[in-house]
Amino acid sequence: MNYTANESVLVGLTGGIATGKSTVIQYLRENGYSVIDADKLGHRVLEPGSYGYQQVVETFGIEIINPDGTVNRPALGKIVFGDLQKLKELNKISHPIIAEMIQTEYEKLVADSVDNIVFLEAALLIEANWHKVCQHIWVVTLDPAIAIQRLQARDGLSYIEANARLEAQLAPEDRLAYADLILKNDATKEDLITKTQQALQDLKLSRVARHS
């Protein structure tokens, strides 16, 4: 994918499950910033009749299909999050398709993006190598123990299931190694929003300084 820095900036926003990315994204959207949601693109990969759907069914079997023909996502999730090799197989199918979708979404959004800034929200930004097309990387962090509690409450998972999903992702310290900016979610929601506001201001100032 090709992005021209003079025309726009693509900011990759990532973080582990339940770290607070949605709070940051909600603020950005409410203030008119364009956001590409990689997770939603991932759902489109499994739409019945699509190439991704066919590949997933061939790989994981008809047992993951609901009576109406749609993919039973909880069933697929239990399979891949319980076996790292199967997770790799799913990612090998979905990541290239999502990358193409990101390109398409970017081309749709860039002309109307506020401040010529587009955000790419992706939990697997680093793992899928999508960070390579971003000019900046923002990482939201949260204490893993709190993230597990939030994930259990949000998705109705057991501790073992929630912990398995966190462990299936990149280790927090490995993700932070790619960060241009860290949004530490260690206080209130309002505090995280304040940090986001400051991050936006700093980004705008750095662009002005670079082009002056």
Segment 146-171 shows an average pLDDT of 91
On average, the pLDDT of the chain sits at 91
DSSP string, 123-181: TTTTTTTGGGG-SEEEEEE--HHHHHHHHHHHHT--HHHHHHHHHTSPPHHHHHTT-SE
CB contact at 8 A, 117 and 206: no
pLDDT of residue 211: 60
Q: pLDDT tens, 36-72?
A: 999 899 999 999 999 999 999 999 999 999 999 999 9
Position 92: which residue type?
Answer: K
pLDDT top residue among 173 and 206? 173
Percent of the chain with pLDDT over 90: 71
Sheet holding 9-15, edge to edge: 34-37, 117-121, 9-15, 136-141, 181-184
Position 30: which residue type?
Answer: E
The pTM (predicted TM-score) of the whole model is 0.81
Segment 63-91 shows an average pLDDT of 93
Q: Token pair of 3, please?
A: 């992005």
Class of the CATH-defined domain 9-211: alpha beta
